[in-house]
Structure 1
């Protein structure tokens, strides 16, 4: 049936849950429905796609893990030097490890094998290669997850609740 975006009382995105949990929150009166997709759980009860909690919930900051999968997603599964999109993508250190470049969000990009070999152990400037997008740390783990759903063609109604998508 689908996923549901949960908003805090202040309309900021809080998490993504399954439709059953969302329906339970609605029935218990802990949340209100903001958006639905036209499908129904039963007559007169539309299936929610966005709900808002009635009371504000404080949430601690959650770090996004630096993984190959997350870097590929951040970079749109394309080489950050030539734009190649395919199966043969690698990870490249902007400042090479041999020059004490670390494993950080700001120093690793997706690159095709050809560009990675061409760049070698040089910086992009030394190799005369220009980065298409400057690497940066994603905003938040939730922003990252919501972006995956929206950019994947699902849940376009979530777009208006998240900045920067």
Structure 2
């Protein structure tokens, strides 16, 4: 597989229900599976408005874009041609509303804190961050949104099994449960996902990552 195709497979696709409400984010393979089975269509931003394509039409449009806009898309190579990776697809037969819950897991905590140590305030790669109990478990602290924060190794060691006050350390921001999925903000930071913004209305920020 070419590097270009591998890069394309690493992209994310926003999924809308049939009423154009954002419901989740999925991988490219899953998106193409839905398109090939005629369970979804591509929604493409074109000169400020959105156009809809079934899979066959999208393949045809891709040939034109490959020729004239090769740098404007991520690509997947088939045996005979390239297909542009869609940014948004719409499910044709699914009308359920998006979930309103944000899962309490490591990925969402890192996203909420935006990979920033909540003690020194510096950004770090995920591999250099850990999760810290603000009130340590030894002192009765629970694993909750309000008591878990990202911390770099240095700050985590310095704090040890103490509260921030005992350690003479201040929190960068008081932890709380997100009202929406912070992973959406992470994606919107990339130019390739800016076409999502219109569909991510405040009432539908709870996009579940699958």
State whether TM-score is above 0.5.
yes
Corresponding residue for residue 70 of structure 2: none
The 5-angstrom pairing of residues 84-95 of structure 1 reads 84-86=122-124, 87-95=127-135
CA distance in structure 1 between the partners assigned to 2:105 and 2:40 by the alignment: 33
Match 1:15 to one of 13, 24, 29: 24
1:53 pairs with 88, 91, 96, which one?
A: 91
Q: Which runs of 5+ in 2 are unaligned?
A: 1-7, 48-56, 66-83, 206-210
Check the 8 A contact 1:66/1:104 in 2, yes or no. no
* TM-score normalised according to structure 1 size: 0.69
Q: CA deviation at 1:153?
A: 4.9
Which structure features the higher share of strand residues? Answer: 1
Q: CA deviation at 1:73?
A: 3.0
Stretches of structure 1 that go unaligned for 5 or more consecutive residues are none
Q: 1:112 to 1:42 in 2, by over 3 A?
A: closer
Q: How many residues align?
A: 157
User: Which residue in the other structure is 2:160 paired with?
Assistant: 120
2:196 alignment counterpart: 158
**Cα distance in 2 between the residues matched to 1:82 and 1:92:** 13
- Greater relative CO, 1 or 2 (CA 8 Å, sep 6+): 2
Q: Secondary structure at the match of 1:64?
A: coil
Give the helix-richer structure, 1 or 2: 2
RMSD: 3.4
Deviation of the 1:98 alpha carbon: 1.4
User: Is 2:149 the counterpart of 1:109?
Assistant: yes
Aligned partner of 1:42 in structure 2 is 59
Aligned: 1:5 with 2:10: no
**TM-score of the aligned structures, taking structure 2 as reference length:** 0.57
CA contact (8 A) 1:92 1:108 kept: yes
Q: CA deviation at 1:100?
A: 0.5
| Distance in 1 between residues matched to 2:190 and 2:43, nearest whole Å | 22
Give the Cα separation in 1 of the matches to 2:32 and 2:108. 28
